[in-house]
Amino acid sequence: MLASIPQSKLLRFAYNAYVVLFFVYLAAPLVVVAIFAFNDSLFPSLPWRGFTLDWFFNPTEPKLGLFYDSRIMAGFANSLIVAVFTTLLSLLVGTTTAFLFERHDFRFKELCYILMLLPLVIPGVILGISILVFSSTIANGVQTATGIELSSLRPGLFLVVLGQFSFIATIATLVIAARLRKFDRSIEEAALDLGASPAAVLCTITLPYLRPALIGSGIVAFLISFENFNTTLMLNGSDAPLTITMFARMREGSTPVLNAVSLFLMIGSGLLGLFGVVVQRDRGTA
């Protein structure tokens, strides 16, 4: 089927209707969550009891608003810390690894490349438990040998960062390597011939060229980290990131404050995502 090929009206109508239905399916849960963030009721469900902003701004129980809910705000702060560190680490290692695979030939390169892709096909829960087991082995070993307790190797934010980094770095590597592959190396050579040092070439030519990919994969890394659940679930300690806090709330049964958090996240990640799309669009021209 193509736009240029005549089709029966009924078939064309059915196809369009299907696509419309599909987008209703995609939007429905998000729209519902967003609308009920403004419902003046103690439960996130019908009936509609009127419009309120309490779930954002009310400072007292029982209608404690999102900005006054200390557990949620703490979760938010934890997620933010984790996402920032995971993103920076992933970009750094993603860039060096992209250079490694695009610019160097070495023995076992094929094998290393497959190894690099593996974190994407290992379930997140398994990545989590393997890092949990290994870090405990080290921490226990150190404790028996020296008596020092390495608390950062026990479940907590540090392990969450490592766990998320272990697979987000692969995504960063793939995005950055794809851009690096299209780079015309004669530009670098010209600069070197004109007397620029390799470091100057890297900073004034190659890295600026990679900028759209760095920003794009940085945004993706940040969003994936912020919304990660599986790996985080196995590695988090007493200070839980937001997704874990929300999960616990959801099982307890919650007030519409969860809707307010969700709407807040939707707006935040939507803005970041849009920014990413705009940056990606410059790719061709930069």
Interacting positions 80-139 with other proteins (CB under 8 A):
92-93, 96-97, 99-100, 103-104, 106, 110, 112-127, 129-134, 137
Helix (H) and strand (E) counts in the chain: 12, 0
* Separation CA 56–CA 265 (nearest Å): 13
What are the φ/ψ torsions at residue 94 (nearest 5 degrees)? -60, -40
Please, which residues have CB within 8 angstroms of residue 94's CB and are 6 or more apart in sequence?
Answer: 169, 171, 172, 173, 175, 176, 217
Choose, by CB under 8 A, the member of 13, 42, 45, 57 that binds other proteins: 45
User: Binding other proteins by CB under 8 A: which of 66, 83, 160, 162?
Assistant: 162
Interface with other proteins (CB under 8 A), residue total 91
- The interface region with other proteins, picked from 49-57, 60-68, 144-152, 176-184 by CB under 8 A, is 176-184
Residue closer to other proteins by CB (options 87, 262) is: 262
Q: Does 49 bind other proteins (CB under 8 A)?
A: no
Task: Give least dist CB 62 to other proteins, A.
Answer: 18
Q: What is the smallest separation between the CB atom of 97 and other proteins, expressed in angstroms? A: 5
Q: Are 102 and 177 in contact (CB under 8 A)?
A: yes
- In the chain, the N- to C-terminal Cα span, in Å, equals 36
Q: Report 195-254 residues binding other proteins (CB under 8 A).
A: 198, 223, 226-227, 229-230, 233-234, 243, 246-247, 250-251
CB of 178 to other proteins, least distance (A): 3
Decide whether 64 or 257 has the Cβ nearer to other proteins: 257
Dihedral sign for Cα atoms in the order 273, 275, 277, 280: negative
C-beta of 157 vs 162, nearer to other proteins = 162
Task: Give φ, ψ of 171 to 5 degrees.
Answer: -65, -45
Q: Do the beta carbons of residue 145 and residue 137 sit within 8 Å?
A: no
Dist CA 130 CA 234 (whole Å): 10
| Nearer Cβ to other proteins (13/134) | 134
Asked if 256 and 41 count as a contact pair (C-beta separation under 8 A), the reply is yes
Q: How far is the CB of 246 from other proteins (least distance, A)?
A: 5
Report in angstroms how near the CB of residue 173 gets to other proteins at its nearest. 9
Q: Which is nearer to other proteins, 44 or 218 (CB)?
A: 44
Q: How far is the CB of 67 from other proteins (least distance, A)?
A: 18
Q: What is the CA radius of gyration of the chain?
A: 24
* Residue from the set 64, 153, 258, 279 that interacts with other proteins by CB under 8 A: 258
Distance of closest approach, residue 104 Cβ to other proteins, in angstroms: 5
Query: Quick check: 83 and 226 in contact, CB under 8 A?
Result: yes
